[in-house]
Amino acid sequence: MTAARLVQFIMSDTQSVETLLVKLVGQPAWQVQVMHGNFLSLDFGKPWLDIAEKLTPPQRKIVARGEWHFVLRYCQWRVFNAKQADPEASRSTQRSYATREISGQFLRSVTYDSQLRTTKLVFDLGAIIEIHPNNWSDDPQWLLSGKDQVWTLDNAGHLTHEARTLFSKGIDKTW
C-alpha cells in the first residue's frame, strides 16, 4: 500500500452497510448499464463530468457520472418486479429489464443481511435488485464511489473504505 492511498477496513454488519447505502434512498437511478460481462452500473445523485486527459498521445475522455456510482461486480444479482415477480427469469431477461426499467426509478429502501451477506434494493415502481455473494471470489460484490471516496463490500462481507483525491486519474471538473 502506498502512502498516497488511505484504506480503512471495517468489519461490516447490517447497520454499517445500510447506513452507507441510505445515502442513495430517495434518489433516482440513472445511466443504468450492464457492462463487462455481468457487472451492473447505476448512478445516483447530481450529475457531474469526469474529464480524463492524457498528454501522450493527446486524448480526452469525458463521462457523465452521478454523485454516487454503484457497481455490482463479482456477485450474483437478480432483478425483478415485485408486481410481476419472476426472480428465476433468464439472465438475458434480467439484464434487459435492469437497463430498461430501473433507470428513472427512485430507490425506496435498502436492506443488508450480514448472515447471508446479501443486499436488497427496492425501487418505487416495483423493481427489486437482490445481490448475493460469489463463494468462489474474494473480489468485491459491489462498490459505491463518490468523487473522493470508495467503499467496497467483498464476498466475505467485509466493508472497505478508501479515500482518494479524484474520481479517476484524470482532471476533475464539475460543469
Q: What is the DSSP letter of 17?
A: H
Q: What is the dihedral of CA 23, 1, 133, 118, to 10 degrees?
A: -30
How much is the pTM?
Answer: 0.80
- The CATH class for the domain spanning 6-45+67-168 reads mainly beta
Query: Between 172 and 158, whose confidence is greater?
Result: 158
C-alpha distance across the termini of the chain, in Å = 33
Encode pLDDT of 28-80 as tens digits. 999 999 887 789 999 999 998 888 888 888 888 898 889 999 999 999 998 88
Contact 24, 110 (CB under 8 A): yes
Q: Do strands 149-154 and 107-113 pair parallel, antiparallel, or not at all (unpaired)?
A: unpaired
Encode pLDDT of 109-165 as tens digits. 999 999 999 999 999 999 999 999 988 878 899 999 987 889 999 998 889 888 864
**Cell output for 90:** 433468464
Classified as helix, coil or strand, 96 is helix
